[in-house]
């Protein structure tokens, strides 16, 4: 396992940060924070690397390949159950409501989750929604063995038209990601898709969170605090000006579809980050009872080798004071 190196006095601490996907709208707060010097003010030099799913970010942190990352809280539970000494710890929960979904054709035969029995579904490799499908099935009374699930590397903008043409009956993914790529395919997601969202059927789940390795937390706690402060400032600025936030993403991904990614960012604020507890706890915080409920459900659905405690999974010591946290995500269009 690689370790974060000590930083010479007066030099910024370089952190290797693994993202969930390619540079895209729902990561804008990180790039706003970087462009406006918030990380630098905290003595940090953040080296962002594009990832390939929220779920995959977690084991890469556990393997010591990165110091910090943007990972899936539910994948963290699995990792901590199996690798309690190496699993990362979440320090800022961005998604307080699960973004997972199965999207199906709006005019198709599947009208409720139980109608999925016997259907053909498609997923990206290691997709976070697919990984949490056993929990969805347990909540809805579905036998997962009754479904045929195909793994595809195709982008959603190619999968959705093929699904609508009859190749598959449904698609795993995130609500806003699928919606944005449906727009990129020239289709109206509200008109052509129906969603079965985990937030309605497995309401205890959280989604994406900023995570750090145990080594970084132990050796550089002030860096972890500074990372959280900078990300929080980036979130505040993102909510205040979505267009400027998309500018920050586009500087890293010039081929970005600005309209689709602005829609993804606005949708993330409105859906994944709009659980009512946000008004009470603020964005970044978690409810330990919800985490404990998720651990219990996952232990039942996946026979986890251990039951990690909520305070092993999430460390709230680095959050800004309650009166400084983002409490509303209302944005002006």
Cα first-last separation, the chain: 46
Give yes or no for a contact between 161 and 188, defined as CB atoms under 8 angstroms apart: no
Q: Which two tokens stand for residue 233?
A: 């400032």
Q: What is the pLDDT of residue 260?
A: 87
Q: Which domains does the chain have, with CATH numbers?
A: 13-97+205-324 (3.40.190.10), 100-201 (3.40.190.10)
- Which residues on neighbouring strands pair with residue 173, listed in sequence order? 101
Low-confidence residues of the chain: pLDDT under 50: 1-5, 332-333
pTM score: 0.85
Q: What is the pLDDT of residue 8?
A: 53
Q: What is the pLDDT of residue 128?
A: 83
Q: Which two tokens stand for residue 87?
A: 């699993």
- Residue carrying the six token digits 């036998």: 143
Q: What is the pLDDT of residue 9?
A: 55
Residue 234 CB coordination number (10 Å):
24
CA-closest candidate to residue 69, choices 53, 84, 82: 53
**Burial status of residue 134 (CB atoms within 10 A of its CB: 0-12, 13-18, 19 or more):** middle
Strand 100-105 versus strand 193-197 pairing type: antiparallel
Q: Which two tokens stand for residue 134?
A: 């056993």
Q: What is the pLDDT of residue 333?
A: 46
Q: What is the pLDDT of residue 4?
A: 46
């Amino acid at each position: 396992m690689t370790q974060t190196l000590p930083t010479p006095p007066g030099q910024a601490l370089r952190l290797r940060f693994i993202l969930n996907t390619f540079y895209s709208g729902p990561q804008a707060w990180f790039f706003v924070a970087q462009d406006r010097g918030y990380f630098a003010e905290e003595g940090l030099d953040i080296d962002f690397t594009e990832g390939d799913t929220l779920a995959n970010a977690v084991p890469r942190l556990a393997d010591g390949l990165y110091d910090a990352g943007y990972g899936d809280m539910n994948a963290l539970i699995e990792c901590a159950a199996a690798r309690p000494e190496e699993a990362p710890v979440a320090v800022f929960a961005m998604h307080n409501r699960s973004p997972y979904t199965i999207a199906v054709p709006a005019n198709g035969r599947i009208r409720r989750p139980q109608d999925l029995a016997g259907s053909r579904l498609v997923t990206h490799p290691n997709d976070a929604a697919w990984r949490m499908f056993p929990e969805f099935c347990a909540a809805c009374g579905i036998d997962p063995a009754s479904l045929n699930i195909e793994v595809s590397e195709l982008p959603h903008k190619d999968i959705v038209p093929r699904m609508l043409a009859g190749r598959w009956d449904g698609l795993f993914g995130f609500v806003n990601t699928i919606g944005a790529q449906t727009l990129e395919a020239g289709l109206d997601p509200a008109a052509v898709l129906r969603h079965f969202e985990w937030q309605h059927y497995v309401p205890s789940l959280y989604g994406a969170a900023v995570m750090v390795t145990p080594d970084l937390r132990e050796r550089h706690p002030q860096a972890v605090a500074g990372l959280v402060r900078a990300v929080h400032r980036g979130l505040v600025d993102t909510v205040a000006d979505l267009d400027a936030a998309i500018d920050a993403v586009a500087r890293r991904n010039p081929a970005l579809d600005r309209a689709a990614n602005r829609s993804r960012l606005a949708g993330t604020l409105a859906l994944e980050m709009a659980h009512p507890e946000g008004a009470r706890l603020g964005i970044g915080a978690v409810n330990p009872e919800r985490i404990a409920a998720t651990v219990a459900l996952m232990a039942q659905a996946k026979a986890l080798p251990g039951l990690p405690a909520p305070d092993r999974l999430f460390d709230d010591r680095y959050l800004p004071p309650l009166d400084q946290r983002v409490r509303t995500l209302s944005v002006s269009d």
